[in-house]
Structures are given as C-alpha cells and as structure tokens.
Amino acid sequence: MVATTIAHGHDLNLLGLADTEHEGPAPKRIVTGYGFWIFLLSDMVMFSCFFAAYAVLLGQTAGGPSGAELFNLRSVAVETTCLLLSSFACGMASIAAEVHSHLWFQIAMAVTCVLGLAFLAIEFHEFADLVARCARGPRRAFLSAFFTLVGCHGLHVSAGTLWLLTMMAQVFAKGFRADIQRRFLCFALFWHALDIIWVAVFSVVYLLGSAV
C-alpha cells in the first residue's frame, strides 16, 4: 500500500501535477503573438488556393502569349531584392523597439517603408504594362489566375505599408508602451510573412511560369 502511494506520488510529480503553484494564463504578448501567427497561417492557406489555381491554369492561354513572353525577370529580381531588404530593415526595427531606441526605430521603419513602396511602384508599373499588352484578344484563365494571385499579394503589401505608417505614428506619439509593442510584434510578423509568400510567388509564378 505504502509502495503504491509512493509510486503514485512519484508519477504525479513526473506529470507536473503535484506542483501546488500554478503558472496561470500566459502573458498577453505570447497570447497576442500566437493568435496573430494563426491568422497568418490561415492567410497562407488562402494563398495556397490561389497558387493551386495558378498552377492548374498555367497552360490556359487561349493561344495568347505565355508567361515566358510576358514576364520581365529583371524587374522581378529588383522587386525581390527590395522586399528582402525591407524585411531585414523590419528586423532591425524590431531590435530597436526591444531596446526602446526611438531614433533607430524610426530610421529602420522609414527604410522598410521606402523599400516597400519601391516594390509596389515596380509591381504597379509591371501590371500597367501587362494590361496594355493583353487588354485586346480573348479572356485568358492564365492571366486571371496571375492577376488574382500577384494582385492579392500586392494588396497585402499595400495594407502592410499603411499599417507601417500607423505604427511609426503610434510609437512617435505614445512611445514603447506594452500594447504598442504587441501591435508592432504583429506588424513585424505580418511583414516577414509577406516576404515568405513573395518567395513562393517569384519561384512559382515567374521562374516556373517562364520555364514551362
């Protein structure tokens, strides 16, 4: 009897149930970050549907020009570099926010914003060029899938840029309060996730789309 009690107590201890002190709920920063992480994953699931549509409709050009004839890989390389460097600048802003350095935070965020806007400008120019070249002729499932997927990513970057400017203003006006820091954590996650989706876009849409 005694032996079983000891064994039982030992088991409880192993499971961590014998602890009298409970941790309580997780800090708000962890809960917020985790919730936003789940939102980002669901966003990626939505993008995966657009990717699937693009991959399926890649050949449906209705006799029109294919991706290899339409895409300008040089400008895609410039776009990729802009977004990658802006993701890095956003990382620097996270470090500045951690050590509460106002100056470096605003500088890093300004660089992030400029690079994001450069990305958007090149993408807009590319879209205008494609529309001018493809407006005539039959409607093509390939182009619909292309504009939906890349346009959806562009919309995300535009929304992210607005959020970025809001964060700069909030940190300027309210300082590095805990709630502002949580908002900035979510923004940084969002911006890095957009870069991950862009990796899939330039690989699948542009590089594979021109190779096929």
- Which residues inside 26-45 make contact with another protein, applying CB under 8 A? 26-27, 29-30, 32-34, 36-38, 41-42, 44-45
DSSP alpha helix (H) spans, the chain = 2-15, 28-57, 67-70, 73-98, 102-134, 141-174, 178-200, 209-211
Region of residue 16 (left: phi > 0; alpha: psi -120 to 50; beta: else): left
The angle that helices 28-57 and 178-200 make with each other, rounded to 10 degrees, is 20
- Which residues inside 46-85 make contact with another protein, applying CB under 8 A? 48-49, 51-53, 55-56, 73, 77, 80-81, 84-85
Find all residues with CB under 8 Å of 119, minimum gap 6, and list them: 79, 82, 83, 86, 157
Q: Does residue 89 contact residue 74 with C-beta atoms inside 8 Å?
A: no
| Closest separation in Å from C-beta 135 to another protein | 27
Binding mask 140-179 for another protein (x = CB under 8 A): ----------------------------------------
Residues contributing to the site for another protein (CB under 8 A): 13-16, 23, 26-27, 29-30, 32-34, 36-38, 41-42, 44-45, 48-49, 51-53, 55-56, 73, 77, 80-81, 84-85, 87-88, 91-92, 94-95, 98-99, 185, 188-189, 192-193, 195-196, 199-200, 202-204, 207-208, 210-212
